Structure 1
């Protein structure tokens, strides 16, 4: 039930915190055997826009398309490997040259999403550890935003428009998956990282490969058929030199292709133990930072037509400060500071549902788009939590709805606090970043009483209540006709079904339900 969340990774991401680890050995191998890498970086966001320095990068993500032999499937052309480099644990001078060579290697296509800012922060991070001058450029480079416009048949130059879609929006349109950005502003400097943070970071880099693969397929369909374009396989290790040279000529450039395949066979004989056993750590001299094979013709054409270069100027290496903002900040007196501290203060109460206001005592909230995920969590613990009908509502619309329905408006937008005077004490700014922490914050701030009987008593889709009596399987099948598909495997499991009184969505007490109940028992500490 629900939409697909995040691109599914074929392999578990490799978290690297030491250059002596097996994962780092595998990374060096991937750098020498992949022609395409997806890049992304994560850092703890600064709260002040005019900070004198750039935020230090905590995690660098690299996603590779590599030989299918790694997965043990000789029929597979490519597998994916995703690495997360912990830049807080690894001595940066020990990996600086490796990464610098990757960024400038003419044999590796770098994929990114507005990656110039990431490269600026990354370069600053390495410079602060004595790796001067950091990173100066990345080429050949291809921006996923540029790919998106070409997929939409909107031909643009190599300079992207100022207003572009987010990576999550592009994934939604191109891959038909929902790329959650909830953890983007989480604290990436804290250790250990959560499993959710690791999955989020890996998905951000991996989805770049998926979008690029679709782009390649579209270009192939527009030009020659796939039968006319030679694709190099990485499974030639099992072939002898005679078999490779006797393969039929499928292009006019057979000598170069066959020589490359034969070279790959010989190379794989030397590195066979490393290909099959990741735990073997070889000296750096055994690895090449450059791709073992040249770009195939298709990829080379894409790079020539759509590729570009990120070049950092001297002005890029210094944080920009806004003179206008600085003057405005200097003009603020002590009264403004007091007002700001008052606006950002903790909840003073009482809430509009309080009996002294004529309320019914039932907590009710309105969550704006910045805390929409919190609304679903509140519903899961039985709390009435509405969301705006529009994706971009005006502040006046939010305030009117909150006042009319007797709700507290939850937001992370400090600007909404200045409208407190319009509806009294009905706006609360959520301070936590993660949904679980936000839920606990709201429960504690408003002293909400949560018990196990309330869990999963509201519809997470529309906020409606469930009918009091559970449906039988026969009743659920009748209710679902023309509305919702019930998997056949549920018919003989004697599950109890529940239906929302507002939107008629059906739910059942399966594994997902019991896992959710246990999750919120733990989050709300109901066992303590």
Structure 2
């Protein structure tokens, strides 16, 4: 019972891939000018040293002889909401749209104090976006600030009851984790590392990009609802002692909450921040000392160890070596997504006990718990002599491919009745008896939000015995089961 995979946005996604003669670009510019809340995200292909920047398609800005210092942003996503509550999602192909037509409207949006911008760790996106426009249009075409900005990470901790007067935790959660915990929506990250410079963009890439922006608006709606509940009436002037009358929340036809002008201004004043790019942010950072250390370490590893990437069993759970017969894995931080997929098919898959573990700590955890350490880091294979047959390098890049690879390599037996039988959040098991809606609502108080759309449905709720996360068979549950049945070749 995994949280439902993210469905396509409930309204059309506009792919902007032409100039002013195409209908999408004027619609985008009109939406940007009228927007009160805009969610932002960007995609790029990481550029290897010495590689040239991706070339444009017909009608786009000409290619440069020298690639920029930073990766070239090739896709920009914007989810815009206007005063009437209408929302539009745009996926902008920056290799096909003339950047000169976009620069002024984007800069105006970034600097408008009355338009709230939403993003997830957007500073890096802004650095790369500014470098992309500067490389194409000149040094005067950079972006150096975003004002009235609200980071979704801050929103998440606010919704989870974190004290605003205290520092936020250093280790922040991923957007996929935040969406899963707040919206019970599973954002697939399989296409995150795809080649965003290849054209045409696939339908999967377009939907992935659109979802990353669109669900920021849903998270903002939860934030707005909680703020409105806690602050029943907010004055439009910060220094005023008078209270304004209760304002009714307006709802668009699609059901999404929007703010009145005065109330949105109050949110911007109290909760928004700004992103300012300093001169140091525009320079690529490199460390010769770290590079020399890395080269030295790699050379020593190559001399001392012959890192064979093929698995040579038996695994520690094999009865022939004293195991209990139950497969158990430990996925390092590079492939945490694989851990969730393994849990979805009923396999015990843990993650490191700390966020930045040392190799010895990973190996100790794998050894003590009788697990196979799954990793994409080939350097970890040099520690095989410390933990015989307990490290395996995953070759696949996409989570589905990685899951199929692990199942095939270790000859795992996956049955339909084990699908969705583990908690994808913590790897725990579920209670044996499901909860009713009333019991689930009581168990979720102060911990998890149950969408109101589930109140009239006869659903059973399952609670993790370790972390108390609640799960239910949502509209996408059966699709997810079919997906994993196909990947695991169940029923064939």
Query: Tell me, what secondary structure is at the counterpart of 1:320?
Result: coil
Structure 2 unmatched ranges of 5 or more? 50-66, 236-241, 254-259, 442-453
**Alignment partner, residue 72 of structure 2:** 56
Pairing 1:315–2:277 present: no
Query: Tell me, what secondary structure is at the counterpart of 1:39?
Result: strand
**Alignment partner, residue 422 of structure 1:** 386
Query: Tell me, what secondary structure is at the counterpart of 1:423?
Result: coil
Pairing 1:459–2:421 present: yes
Q: Residues 7 and 144 (structure 1 numbering): CA distance in 2 closer, same or farther, change over 3 Å?
A: farther
Question: CA shift at 1:64, angstroms?
Answer: 1.7
Q: Residues 13 and 215 (structure 1 numbering): CA distance in 2 closer, same or farther, change over 3 Å?
A: farther
Distance 1:358 1:345 in 2: 25
**Alignment partner, residue 202 of structure 2:** 192
Distance 2:279 2:387 in 1: 50
Q: Residues 67 and 499 (structure 1 numbering): CA distance in 2 closer, same or farther, change over 3 Å?
A: closer
The answer to whether the Cα contact below 8 Å between 1:38 and 1:208 also exists between their aligned partners in 2 is no
Distance 1:175 1:106 in 2: 28
Pairing 1:442–2:453 present: no
Counting matched residue pairs gives: 438
Q: 2:479 aligns with which of 502, 510, 515?
A: 515
In the TM superposition, 1:394-413 aligns within 5 A as 399-400=363-364, 402-403=366-367, 406-412=370-376
Question: CA shift at 1:67, angstroms?
Answer: 4.2
Q: Residues 525 and 117 (structure 1 numbering): CA distance in 2 closer, same or farther, change over 3 Å?
A: same
Question: CA shift at 1:121, angstroms?
Answer: 0.2
In the TM superposition, 1:346-365 aligns within 5 A as 346-353=310-317, 357=321, 363-365=327-329
Pairing 1:65–2:27 present: no
Pairing 1:84–2:91 present: yes
Q: 1:121 aligns with which of 116, 120, 128?
A: 128
The answer to whether the Cα contact below 8 Å between 1:353 and 1:359 also exists between their aligned partners in 2 is yes
The answer to whether the Cα contact below 8 Å between 2:6 and 2:186 also exists between their aligned partners in 1 is yes
Structure 1 unmatched ranges of 5 or more? 69-77, 236-294, 468-475
Distance 1:425 1:310 in 2: 48
Q: Residues 97 and 348 (structure 1 numbering): CA distance in 2 closer, same or farther, change over 3 Å?
A: farther
**Alignment partner, residue 276 of structure 1:** none
The answer to whether the Cα contact below 8 Å between 1:376 and 1:460 also exists between their aligned partners in 2 is no
Quote the RMSD (CA, aligned, Å). Answer: 5.3
The answer to whether the Cα contact below 8 Å between 1:455 and 1:520 also exists between their aligned partners in 2 is no
The answer to whether the Cα contact below 8 Å between 2:120 and 2:175 also exists between their aligned partners in 1 is no
Distance 2:264 2:430 in 1: 54
Distance 1:510 1:234 in 2: 24
TM-score by length of structure 1 reads 0.63
Distance 1:489 1:222 in 2: 36
**Alignment partner, residue 164 of structure 2:** 154
Q: 2:221 aligns with which of 201, 210, 214?
A: 210
Distance 1:297 1:506 in 2: 37
Question: CA shift at 1:40, angstroms?
Answer: 2.0
Query: Tell me, what secondary structure is at the counterpart of 2:90?
Result: strand
Q: Residues 33 and 153 (structure 1 numbering): CA distance in 2 closer, same or farther, change over 3 Å?
A: same
Question: CA shift at 1:321, angstroms?
Answer: 0.9
Question: CA shift at 1:47, angstroms?
Answer: 7.4
Question: CA shift at 1:122, angstroms?
Answer: 0.5
In the TM superposition, 1:9-20 aligns within 5 A as 11-19=11-19, 20=21
Distance 1:232 1:380 in 2: 39
Largest Rg, 1 or 2 = 1
Question: CA shift at 1:214, angstroms?
Answer: 4.6
**Alignment partner, residue 44 of structure 2:** 43
Kindly provide the CA deviation profile for residues 305-332 of structure 1, in whole angstroms up to 9, marking residues without a partner as x: 6655544344322211123313324545
TM-score by length of structure 2 reads 0.67
